[in-house]
Homo-oligomer: A and B are copies of this chain.
């Protein structure tokens, strides 16, 4: 069994952002030399998400507007968490809807994806350096 580990770093200029990271995950997979197995891609921060969906700008706008409706940023005083001095309680909630991680099959050295699957980093409290972990196991 082989394992491979890589961190990806992000610093989005906006509080909220959705970034396609499929190419970076594919690069990590190539570096690993692993042909068959599983790849885990997870946010290492609890106000961010890694998820799989469509690379379509309109949909990304829909996601951010929808999440804002489900867990509004304002009024920040409505969240107990923000009594700690933070203003990002909404980000902790939004990330639960979108998920922390994805696990993807590796087959013949490639991400074993359907026709439109792409991997995204969902940032809900940006403007600082944050990390995504890629861990691959297989052979």
Enumerate chain A interface residues (CB-CB to B < 8 A): 1, 3, 5, 36-38, 40, 42-46, 51-54, 56-59, 61-63, 66, 70-71, 79-84, 89, 92-93, 95-105, 107, 112-117, 131, 133, 135, 137-139
Which residues of B sit under 8 angstroms from A63, Cβ to Cβ?
Answer: 92-93, 96
A116 CB, min distance to chain B CBs, angstroms: 5
CB <8 Å contact, B46 and A58: no
CB <8 Å contact, A71 and B80: no
Contact of A100 among B52, B62, B80, B107 (CB under 8 A): B52
CB <8 Å contact, A52 and B58: no
Subset of 24 A-B contacts with CB under 8 Å: A1-B37, A37-B137, A38-B135, A40-B105, A44-B114, A44-B117, A46-B116, A46-B117, A53-B95, A53-B96, A54-B81, A54-B92, A56-B81, A56-B84, A58-B83, A58-B89, A59-B81, A61-B80, A62-B79, A66-B93, A96-B99, A97-B97, A112-B135, A114-B131
A88 CB, min distance to chain B CBs, angstroms: 10
Q: Tell me whether A44 and B103 are in contact in the complex, defined as CB-CB below 8 angstroms, given that A93-B63, A93-B66 are known contacts.
A: no
CB <8 Å contact, B80 and A62: yes
Bound-complex Cα distance A92 to B5 (A): 30
Which 5 pairs, one residue from A and one from B, show the smallest C-beta to C-beta distance?
A: A44-B114, A58-B80, A105-B135, A59-B81, A3-B36
